[in-house]
Amino acid sequence: MAEKKKMSVAEILAAARAADGKGAAASPPEPKATETEESPAAPPASKPKPAAAKPAAAAGGARPSVSDILAMARANKAAGAETAAKPAAAKPAAPAAKAAAAKPAAKATEAGAAKTGVQRDTASILAAARAGAKPGPVSKADAPARPAAKPREAKPVAEKAAPPRTVATVPPKPVKPAKAAAGAAEDRRTFLQIALGSAMAVGFSALAVTGGLFSLGLARFLFPNVLAEPPSKFKVGSRDGFPSGKVETKYVAQYGVWVVNGDFQGQQQIYALKTVCTHLGCTPSWLEAEQKFKCPCHGSGFYKDGVNFEGPAPRPLERYAIRIADDGQLEIDKSKTFQEELGQWADPDSYVTV
């Protein structure tokens, strides 16, 4: 990781210390003189290394402080001239142990130095730091090329052990009721539905019929029938068609009139008698053989001139108005009647003289 970023002085020192620790632990107590070729200021390998000089480094214990390291560097620098003046126990880190410890660090930096073509050691770095120069390979130009990042190996995914399958126990299904009971219930339900539907249908039908009849009666009340009665005036022909003493009955059915050519009080007249019995309204019959009108209801009898002479009829038959029309025909007007008991038969409109 140290090669991937710019190394500061502290990091370089830390790397050196780590290298020292590893070198001291891995290297033999008497390093060869050839291994210190990177450090010209390193003391000769013949210099004995006190056992207590680097107790912590040898054992990988407490880390030396920066002042110690600087002192070690100064000691390395001045090793050639002052090795004898300094007490052996004062700075035990400089001699052979340092050289031995520098070996792994030098080896570690050899790869980067080989790439960049620059060899650096701790002493030179520290010297440069003291001189205020550039503190180590921090520039891009001096920095060793970063090794290519190793591709991350895909971690094999440990297959999870499948949990043991537990077989669920299914409760037994409830016993279905017998089909016969279900069918009976269905039949009962269907019967009730049909009965209820039929009752409702009958009720609605009766209501519809009642409403229809009520509407019909209301319409008949609002628009009563108009009797298509024959016109009140009608022509029966000329007087020649009615000989003397003749009672014409052919207009009874259509007009309810007898046309008679008879004698009334010594005067020959043609008159029109109403075919309604004055008793209770029955229609008498002309009896040619008996020369009378006979009511079939109660036996009332009327002469040819219409005067009652037997039975319960209280008064003579009534006459309609009659006249000779412009065309010479006899015209009968049923809108006007004449009663003998009232003396109306004397009215000229009640007869036509022959």
Closest CA to 13 of 104, 105, 92, 114: 105
Number of residues that bind ligand FES (CB under 6 A): 12
Contact between 282 and ligand FES per CB under 6 A: yes
Contact between 312 and ligand FES per CB under 6 A: yes
Judged by CB under 6 A, the chain residues 56 through 115 that form the site for ligand FES are none
Which of 98-106, 198-206, 241-249, 308-316 is the region at the interface with ligand FES (rule: CB under 6 A)? Answer: 308-316
Which of 2-10, 32-40, 216-224, 305-313 is the region at the interface with ligand FES (rule: CB under 6 A)? Answer: 305-313
Please list, in sequence order, all residues whose beta carbon lies within 8 angstroms of the beta carbon of residue 316, skipping any fewer than 6 positions away: 278, 302, 305, 306, 307, 308, 339, 340, 341
Quote the least distance from Cβ 292 to ligand FES, whole Å. Answer: 13
Give the whole-angstrom CA distance, residue 235 versus residue 323.
10
SS3 content of the chain, % helix, strand, coil (to 5): 40, 15, 50
Contact between 313 and ligand FES per CB under 6 A: yes
Give the whole-angstrom CA distance, residue 140 versus residue 49.
39
CA dist list (Å): 151 to 1, 147, 148, 181: 15, 12, 9, 77
Quote the least distance from Cβ 278 to ligand FES, whole Å. Answer: 7
How many degrees, rounded to 5, is the angle at CA 128 between CA 127 and CA 134? 165
Which of 77-85, 190-198, 235-243, 274-282 is the region at the interface with ligand FES (rule: CB under 6 A)? Answer: 274-282
* Of 114, 133, 206, 280, the one binding ligand FES by CB under 6 A: 280
Closest CA to 110 of 40, 43, 38: 38
The torsion angles phi and psi of 308, rounded to 5 degrees, stand at -75, 145
* Of 94, 99, 129, 277, the one binding ligand FES by CB under 6 A: 277
Contact between 297 and ligand FES per CB under 6 A: yes
Quote the least distance from Cβ 332 to ligand FES, whole Å. Answer: 23
Please list, in sequence order, all residues whose beta carbon lies within 8 angstroms of the beta carbon of residue 326, skipping any fewer than 6 positions away: none
* Of 17, 74, 103, 279, the one binding ligand FES by CB under 6 A: 279
Contact between 143 and ligand FES per CB under 6 A: no
Site residues for ligand FES per CB under 6 A: 277, 279-280, 282, 295, 297-300, 311-313
